[in-house]
A and B are shown apart, each in its own frame.
Chain A
């Protein structure tokens, strides 16, 4: 059973059209939820870590929120340069060395 599920798999928006990406998780005793951005052919770039329900973090047009079962990445008035794949991850349950288990990502396209 997947521990991290992201939806939608792909999302196409017009420039300026706000929306949200979802990441639901099934692990108990969450030790952090991580958001990354990945551009084609490159490694993931760290965005946010959230640790407790109700926590929010913002960076430019992005805001990440966390509940007890899911996290949302809200994108406000997006620009074409926000096009990327957005990944969320949680520490692997029972895993050593703080490794991460990733969702499959949401591929976001912002059209001019």
Chain B
């Protein structure tokens, strides 16, 4: 079974904290993605990476950074968490090109208080 695993299902953090969300895939995929999902707004792409140490901004990168030191691991970092970053965060991965469908992790529900 293919797997994308996110380190936490639920997190509660305080405003101003530095937050790390971890994602690991075991499919040797080249691409990895971080999305956030909010009611009424759907899924929005924060950052993606197409190779180790490579990253590109998505639609809503402000307030976030990412790290990809190894092919299988992609981390999302909230430098100074704010309440408007309370959301469901979803990691996904796939290989480049047609016919390779993105697989998602189970999601991390982050609450910033």
Interfacial residues, chain A to chain B (CB-CB below 8 A): 31-32, 34, 36, 41-46, 49, 51, 87, 89, 92, 95-105
Contact = CB atoms under 8 A, between A and B. Distances in A.
Contact of A45 (B49, B58, B97, B104): B104
Given A87-B43, A103-B42, A96 B50 contact: yes
Contacts of B40: 104
Contacts of A95: 45
A97 B49 contact: yes
B106 interface: yes
Interface string B27-51: 0001101000000111101001110
Nearest to A104: B42
A25 to B, nearest CB: 14
Contact of A42 (B43, B92, B100, B106): B106
Interface of B: 4, 30-31, 33, 40-43, 45, 48-50, 56, 58, 88, 90, 92, 94, 96-107, 109
Contacts, number: 66
Contacts of A101: 45
Given A49-B99, A98-B100, A99-B58, A42 B107 contact: yes
Contacts of A92: 45
